[in-house]
Every structure is written in structure tokens, then in C-alpha cells.
A = this chain, B = another copy of it.
Amino acid sequence: MKIGIIGATGNTGSSLVKEALGRNHQVTALVRNADKAKSLFADTVTIIAKDAFAFNKQDFAGLDVLIDAISFPTQKHLAYDQLDLAAQLIHMFRETDSPRLVFILGAGSLRTDGGLEIDQLRKTPGAAAWIDTPEAQHQELNFLRTVSNVNWLGVSPSANYTVGPKTAYVRGSDDLLFDDNHKSEVSTGTFAAAILDELEQPSIHQARFTVRNK
């Protein structure tokens, strides 16, 4: 497949690039910083460097899958761009079924303890420093759920999202997943592998799934 990844140099993006290349897919890295992409990926990917909101349909031409893997940080007061970029991409592909649009969300929108994980996150001491990003990712999923004429997919990690290699995994839909020790964790490697598995063998449509390390 031809897979475009917006935010390819980030933690999630770069593990997606690695996993996709390992499976012999063609990857286009859609990034802000061409030099950073070049130093990470050399000539293994096609690089298109622009501000995320400047990408246009031409940049995405020929892609089977377009993954929005940017996480806009609370710290720069840009978390709302999370939702705005999703809205722009969705608008670009209304009334189409290709490319498949994949949105990397947070764990905040997953159900747990009779509410949502975001309800717990809001109560965490010091949450003000980072809460805007999960809030925006939650709004992003709520927005996606209104969209019935685009081939979209949402993916949420577990509560602890760590940088690390892939393991076996357990997949779920809208509930935060825990292992037998009540640990909710997924590594970037596992997360990327689960996404590539879904892309190679689509099993859901206009829905979100989540994953944890087994």
C-alpha cells in the first residue's frame, strides 16, 4: 500500500514508518521539518515538508491510507489544532472512500469506571499543563463520529503509552484495556503493528479501536 503519515517524525509517526517499511509498504512522510525526516529515514521514504495545514489534495494523491499522527502539544497552546486538522482532512475527502483516513487519538475518550478516562485525567494533579491535548483528541473523536461519508478510522493507545518495541497485543473498541495486573499499557511498536494489521486486513469502518500490550 501507499501510506502517507502526517507527523512521521514523532514517536507514533516514526514507529508507523518503521512498521510500514518492514512490511514493504511505500511511505510518504508528511512533515514540517524535512531535515529531521531525512536524518531519520534517509531515502527509504518520500518526504513532503509543509505546515500541517498547508498540505493539499495533491500532496496526498495516490495514497491508499493517510494517517494523521500529529499530537499537538498543550504547551504551545495549539491543542485545538488537533480538531481543526482533522476537520480540514475530513472536508478534503468528503464523499470518498479512499484514502482511508486514520486519526491517532488519545486514551482519554475510552470508557472506564463508569465514565471516560478523560474524567480521571482532569482530576490528575498538574493536569492543566497537558490536559488540552487529550481534551482536543476527545473532541476530535466526537467530531469523527458525526462523519458518515469518509472512510475514517480512529485509534487510541492504552493509558500508558510508552516508547518501545512491539509485543503481542490485545485489541478492544471503546473501553480502556487493562491486563491482569490492572496495568493499561501499550508500546509505540505494538501500537504501530496493530494499526498496520488493521490497514492490511480492515475489520472496522468509521469507528475507533484501542490496543494494549499482551
**Bound Cα distance A90, B136 (Å):** 14
Is A139 positioned at the interface, with any CB of B under 8 Å from its CB? yes
| Residue A124, interface by CB 8 Å | no
Q: Which residues of B contact A90 (CB under 8 A)?
A: 84
B84/A53 in contact, CB under 8 A: no
From B84, B94, B142, give the contact of A142 (CB < 8 A): B142
A:44-60 near B, CB below 8 Å:
53
Q: Which residue of B lies closest to A77 (CB)?
A: B95
For residue A146, CB closer than 8 A to chain B, the reply is yes
Per assembly, the copies of the chain total: 2
CB distance from A202 to the nearest CB of B (A): 23
Of B77, B88, B146, which is within 8 A of A91 by CB? Answer: B88
Proximity bits, A74-100, B CB within 8 Å = 1, else 0: 000100110110011011001100000
Contacting pair A80 B94 (CB below 8 A): yes
Find chain B residues with CB under 8 A from A120 CB.
Answer: none
Q: Tell me which residues across on chain B come within 8 A of A84, comparing CB atoms.
A: 87, 90-91, 94
Output the least CB separation between A78 and chain B (Å). 9
Against B, the Cβ 8 Å flags (1 = close, 0 = not) of A120-164 are 000000000000000000010011001101000000000000000
Contact residues of A between 104 and 118, Cβ < 8 Å to B: none
Q: Which residues of B contact A94 (CB under 8 A)?
A: 80-81, 84
Q: What's the nearest-Cβ distance from chain B to residue A148, in Å? A: 9
Q: For residue A53, which residues in chain B have a CB less than 8 angstroms away from its CB?
A: 91
Which residues from chain A sit less than 8 Å from chain B, CB to CB? 53, 77, 80-81, 83-84, 87-88, 90-91, 94-95, 139, 142-143, 146-147, 149
Q: List 22 A-B contacts (CB under 8 A).
A: A53-B91, A77-B95, A80-B94, A80-B147, A80-B149, A81-B91, A81-B94, A83-B87, A83-B146, A84-B87, A84-B90, A84-B91, A84-B94, A87-B87, A87-B88, A87-B91, A88-B88, A88-B91, A139-B146, A142-B142, A142-B146, A143-B143
